Structures are given as structure tokens and as C-alpha cells.
Structure 1
Amino acid sequence: MYAVTRGRTTPSAGLAMEALVSSATSARLGLSYVREYRAISELCHQVRSVAEISALLGVPLGVARVLISDMEAEGLVRVHRPRSEAGGPDLATLERVLSGLHRL
């Protein structure tokens, strides 16, 4: 897995585990993209959190964050970052993340 991320474990841009990700295209990615990019793109035809993508792909959260960040930079996915006024996630966001994790 770390070969795909070229050894990186931290995304180039901050990416919270509760950030929501959607595919930027309705078309399937071709074979010119790595398998993980194609899998993330398919999963994100339905909006999913970074944590959910990590769990569904069976990859460490750090790896998923790097891949998603790279895909965002290439315009393959859209990342919808949560707003936080106090610097941390609000209680409603944490409850949604916990609920999603329980569903997995």
C-alpha cells in the first residue's frame, strides 16, 4: 500500500477523517489509474466519509487520506470539509461519524 502513496502517510492538504468525499465524474476511471483510485472513485458515487472509505477498502486511514488528497488535487474527487468554528468537530459531527462506524 505504501508504494502507491510513495511512502507518504500524511496528505498534502489537511483532510479530516469525517470529511465527505464524492466522485467528480460519473464515468469510470480507466486502467491508466491505479486500482485504488478506481475503487475510491466507484465508492464515491455515493458520498462517503474518509473513515468509511478507509474501512471499505481495508487500508490504513493515513493511506486513504493520502490517496484521497492526491485524487482531489487531480480533480477526480470532491472533498466536502466540515465547518468548525471552535477548531474541533462539533458534537453532531462526532455522532454522525460514530453512527457510520457502527453501521460498518
Structure 2
Amino acid sequence: MNEPAAPQEYSDQAVRPFVITGGRVRASRNTISVDTLLRAASDGPPLPLTATREQRALLKLCARLHTLVEAAVKLQLPVSVVMIVACDLVDSGHLHARPPIPQAGRPPLEMLQELLDGLRNL
């Protein structure tokens, strides 16, 4: 006999993205990208009572270091929406945004592959 399918986890998506961003489609900063590292400011001012739940959720999530795209996935929001919310929090001093490690600072892929192969051979 076929068992009924397990119910899908409920996801509250009643608010449209343009409502979350206040109708804005572009972020206030052009320096934030999908691989920008976000971290809550420990010395930042307290969030105002008018802060949205998305702002609160992003700030809570960024108590630990996350990239913008990771935060979007965990918040189940479009990347463009999280980018605008993150920019608002950076502008207000609640969130720090740090550019990712530059490509020149990363080790070559071949070296990483050799390291991985060496570890597997141990």
C-alpha cells in the first residue's frame, strides 16, 4: 500500500520581495556581491523597533561569518533581496561587509588537489 507523502515543511512567503525592500530593486552599495562576507557589528547600535523581521533574521544569522549567498539560502529569500537588506544594515552600522579573499591570495587549484590526494593516501 502506498503511504501518503510526508507534508512539506511550511515556508512563510506571504510577503512579496518588493515589499521587503520597500520597492527598491538596487542596493545602495555597488561593493557588495554574492561572495561578500557579512558579520554582525558587535559595537553596532541596537536595532530600531521598526526593523523588519528579515533585518532581524539576517543580523541574527550573521552573528557568525556568512557570505551573502549563504545568508540568502538560509533565509530562503532571493539573493537580490538579501543584498538590499544587507546594504541597509551596513549603512546603519549594524552589519560589517568584507570583500572576499582576492583571487591572487588563494592557493592554486593544482596545489590544493595535490594536498587532497596526499591526505587521502595517508
Q: TM-score, normalised by structure 1?
A: 0.73
Residue pairs, 1:45-56, within 5 angstroms? 45-56=63-74
In structure 2, the residue matched to 1:2 is 18
SS of 1:18's equivalent in the other structure is coil
The aligned runs of 1:19-30 (5 Å cut-off) are 19-25=36-42, 29=47
CA contact (8 A) 1:22 1:79 kept: yes
| Alignment equivalent of 2:93, drawn from 75, 79, 82 | 75
Q: Distance in 2 between matches of 1:75 and 1:26?
A: 9
TM-score by length of 2: 0.63
From 45, 54, 64, the counterpart of 1:36: 54
Instruction: Considering Cα pairs closer than 8 Å and 6+ residues apart, tell me whether 1 or 2 has the greater RCO.
Output: 1
Specify the code of the residue in structure 1 equivalent to 2:28: S
What is the CA-CA distance between 1:10 and the residue it aligns to?
1.8
DSSP 3-state at the match of 1:9: coil
Report the structure number with the largest CA radius of gyration: 2
Task: Give the % identical residues.
Answer: 24
* 3-state SS, counterpart of residue 19 of structure 2: coil
Which SS does the other structure have where 1:22 is aligned? strand
The aligned amino acid for 1:68 is A
The answer for unaligned runs of 5 or more in structure 2 is 1-16, 110-122
SS of structure 2 residue aligned to 1:6: coil
